[in-house]
């Protein structure tokens, strides 16, 4: 169908919806983009606690790869995770400044709230892209291969 994104053959098979001939499957597999699995390395601009947090999250995302035999987090996603770490760090910095600015000028508080909100939105968008938020994880579906249909008999 026009306008639909093609799904990988493995995903179609796992969903039980691969109504393709062997030749079509092979052709589609050859056309699929393969991302090589390499070691995940933190960008050099992350320092100290940021690098530690990056490695922590990268380890969790890598474990998802290993447990699901997939390519869900690769070196291509490093910058997205780094943006999340940086924006989360900024959000916490501005939140602390807001707590300390409780008795300051209302204009200063408004300015801090503005940049705090921007940092929050950046962190939230990056988290959603990586599946780090509850709602984004609920959208991630790792289909299980369907058996020969015998399991359905147990339901009845």
Q: Does the pTM of the predicted model rise above 0.75?
A: no
In this model, does residue 64 exceed pLDDT 70? yes
Burial class (CB in 10 A: 0-12, 13-18, 19+), 28: middle
> Is 46 in contact with 82 (CB distance < 8 Å)?
yes
Count of all residues that appear for the chain in the document: 156
| Residue among 26, 23, 156 nearest 9 (CA) | 26
Reported as a single tens digit per residue, the pLDDT across 15-62 is 666 677 778 777 777 666 666 666 788 999 999 999 999 999 988 888
C-alpha distances in angstroms, 85 versus 28, 59, 81, 117, 133? 36, 14, 6, 16, 14
């Amino acid at each position: 169908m026009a306008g639909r994104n093609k799904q990988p053959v493995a995903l179609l098979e796992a969903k039980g919806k691969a109504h393709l001939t062997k030749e079509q499957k092979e052709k589609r597999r050859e056309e699929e983009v393969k991302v090589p699995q390499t070691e995940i390395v933190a960008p050099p601009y992350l320092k100290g606690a940021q690098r530690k947090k990056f490695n922590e999250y990268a380890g969790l995302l890598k474990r998802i790869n290993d447990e699901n035999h997939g390519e869900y987090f690769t070196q291509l996603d490093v910058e997205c995770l780094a943006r999340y770490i940086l924006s989360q760090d900024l959000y916490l910095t501005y939140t602390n400044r807001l707590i300390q600015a409780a008795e300051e000028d209302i204009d200063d508080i408004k300015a801090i709230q503005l940049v705090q909100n921007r940092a929050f939105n950046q962190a939230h968008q990056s988290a959603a892209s990586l599946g780090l938020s509850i709602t984004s994880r609920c959208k991630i579906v790792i289909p299980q291969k369907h058996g020969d249909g015998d399991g359905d008999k147990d339901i009845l």
